[in-house]
Amino acid sequence: MGLLLPIILAFLAAVIGGLYLLGAFRQRRHGEPPLDRGPIPWLGHVFEFRRNTLKFLQRMKGKHGDVFTIQLGGYYTTFLQDPDSFGSMVKESREKLDFRKFAVNLVRRVFGYSAIFEEHKILHDASSKHLKGDGLEVMTQSMMGNLQNLMLHNLGSSADQRAWIEEGLFQYCYNIVFRAGYLSLYGNEPHKSDGGEEKAKEKDRAESEALYGEFRKYDALFPNLAYGVLTPRKRWEVERLMGYFWNRLSVKEMKNKDNISRWIWDIQQGKEELGIKESMVTRYMFVLLWASQGNTGPSSFWLLFYLMKNPEALAAVKEEVAEVLKEFGQEVRPGGPLIDLTREMLMKTPVLDSAVEETLRLTAAPLLTRAVLQDMTLKMADGRQYAIRQGDRLSVFPYIAIHIDPEIHPDPHTFKYDRFLNPDGSKKTDFYKAGKKVKYYNMPWGAGVSMCPGRFFATNELKQFVFLMLVYFEFELKNPDEEIPEIDYRRWGFGSMQPDRDVQFRYRLRY
Ligand code: HEM
């Protein structure tokens, strides 16, 4: 008994100390947001959060209001849900709120890439040069060529090419947009190789198809990987897939390609100049493949789907496309040259722009998170102030706070292709909540320092794809009464949403 008591006391002290370290005893201090630690020490609410982020955050908002702190997998995260106050997070100094720390951890866990501090500037500089302005012109042209290769390579080759093809719409859109985007960024097979241009194009088609197949396998495992819940078999599969991509996207392989985008090229060079090992640069190429190709394909599906479900929207976009072609003196004729859709033409499509923005409002749901580096005060637009602790995280989920807020966007679950159009046809940017103009009225690309640098290119990709579909193909849903698929709930927070099932459609070349 003499020995038992100290052992029991030591055990209790260890348990209490452990629980303390796990944050189990954290109490809300004066001036802090409401605190909800959740049912399980350390893990907190993580299971409910993962099961359906949207439902969970809506429940928390109903319980605590528009600011609350919850425990999630070892971190205390404060959610800010008042769009008027988003500026407090977006514009806060990097000394207090840092997005990199959070992103670096995620990228290490999910892609095996260890980032160093200085390198974010390389991405920033390359994106400013090549994903905007004149650089974007080059990228857009390249995308056009690759879309034509993938979508139109058998145009007019024989009469039976005009037979209807039936396929899953999600599979079709993701496949084409992913492959064309990949080829535009990472380069083409050189024409000088055996067999000349036609053979090189054929190789591009075959190689990008194989890469897409493997990407989709990784994509399916992504939510488990991001949350760190993988069975040993799945872990093994993830490692195999990573090995595959590191091979295929290796710096050495890419040096054999033509037309590598300047964006990818400058990033590679910049990293090499910083002394980052080639094997790490290669890993980063996979991170960029993920960031650049994981969202646009799913978005192209939703865009085409909503257009097909809304004949009025489809007719309005078709009319606009026809007008633009006419204005630029182009015409699609059997046996004639392929249309050359320039960036200038893409800047004259306000109706399609509005349809794209509406699609992203309904189907892009990023979770924006910052690490809190110092104790700070969160200042709300209505004057409230909250103390936030160093070491916590601060997040916004614009989907609930903005995208489906009926005050900002009336009838928020309905696709309205002209929601972002003024009556005079110009872009609508005035949206209101409680009589006050809302600055952040749609946030598919995030905001502030980590705002998506590929947003202009992505928008052009979506528009180019739809443009070509409308001009060269007839297409329709197999079942005109098809219901809108549910969203795959495991993916909330990662950007563009995916449907929980595919929908069948049919298409055929017009010429
Ligand atoms: C519909 C398509 C797309 C959507 C909805 C989307 C959305 C986003 C969002 C929300 C973020 C910010 C995440 C955060 O703040 O935590 C982001 C980051 C990023 N996106 Fe996109 N994106 C798309 C397409 C693209 C494309 C085509 C590219 C490249 C050509 C690209 C490159 C990137 C990169 C490199 C980052 C990381 C930025 C950084 O670390 O500063 N994205 N994207």
Residues 318 and 324 sit within 8 Å (Cβ to Cβ): no
d(CA 209, ligand 1 centre) in Å: 23
For ligand 1, atom 19, which residue shows the shortest CA distance?
Answer: 452
- Asked if 300 and 283 count as a contact pair (C-beta separation under 8 A), the reply is no
Ligand-binding annotation for 105, yes or no, is no
Q: What is the atom index within ligand 1 of the atom nearest the CA of 181?
A: 27
Question: Pairing between strand 504-509 and 473-477?
Answer: antiparallel
Q: 311-327 and 350-363 helices cross at what angle (nearest 10)? A: 140
Torsional sign, CA 502, 236, 99, 384: positive
Q: CA 482 → CA 308, 310, 314, 499, distances in Å?
A: 10, 12, 16, 13
Longest dimension (CA), the chain: 98
In ligand 1, the atom with minimum distance to the C-alpha of 457 is 27
Does ligand 1 have an atom closer than 6 angstroms to the CB of 376? no
Instruction: Identify the pLDDT of residue 154.
Output: 79
What element of type H or E holds 106? helix 100-111
Question: Which residue's CA is the closest to the ligand 1 atom numbered 23?
Answer: 295
Alpha-carbon distance of 75 to 106, in angstroms, equals: 14
* 458 CA closest ligand 1 atom index: 27
- The predicted pLDDT at position 301 comes to 98
pLDDT mean across residues, the chain: 92
Question: What is the reported pLDDT for 411?
Answer: 98
Ligand 1 centroid, distance to 181 Cα (angstroms): 14
> Cβ(54) to ligand 1 under 6 A?
no
How far is residue 64's CA from residue 79's CA, in Å, rounded to a whole number? Answer: 11
CB 130 within 8 A of CB 261: yes
Asked if residue 343 belongs to a known ligand binding site, the reply is no
- Please name which of 260, 186, 179, 263 lies closest in space to residue 456, comparing C-alpha atoms: 263
Q: Is the CB of 452 under 6 A from ligand 1?
A: yes
Ligand 1 atom at minimum distance from 443 CA = 10
pLDDT at 327: 96
pLDDT for 500 equals 94
Which residue, by CA, sits nearest to atom 16 of ligand 1? 368
CA nearest ligand 1 atom 36, residue: 452
Q: What does the domain layout of the chain look like in residue ranges?
A: 117-367+414-420+455-509
Ligand 1 within 6 A of CB of 296: yes
CB 385, CB 376: distance < 8 Å: no
Query: What pLDDT does 16 receive?
Result: 66
Alpha-carbon Rg for the chain, nearest whole angstrom, is: 25
Asked whether 140 lines ligand 1 (CB < 6 A), one says no
The backbone torsions φ and ψ at residue 130, rounded to the nearest 5 degrees and listed phi first, read -115, -10
**14 Cα to the center of ligand 1, angstroms:** 44
**Ligand 1 atom 41: residue of nearest CA:** 450
Instruction: Choose which residue among 182, 452, 492, 498 to substitute to test ligand 1 binding: the one with the highest number of ligand atoms within 8 A of its C-beta.
Output: 452
User: Rounded CA gap, 147 and 162, in Å?
Assistant: 19
Which residue has its alpha carbon closest to ligand 1 atom 20? 452
* Fold type of domain 117-367+414-420+455-509: Cytochrome p450 (1.10.630)
For ligand 1, whether the C-beta of 493 sits within 6 Å is no
Give the residue ranges of the chain where pLDDT is below 50: none
- Give the atom of ligand 1 at the shortest distance from the alpha carbon of 447: 15
Does the CB atom of residue 457 touch ligand 1 within 6 A?
A: yes
Per-residue confidence (pLDDT) for residue 19, from 0 to 100:
64
What spacing in Å lies between the alpha carbon of 241 and ligand 1's midpoint? 22
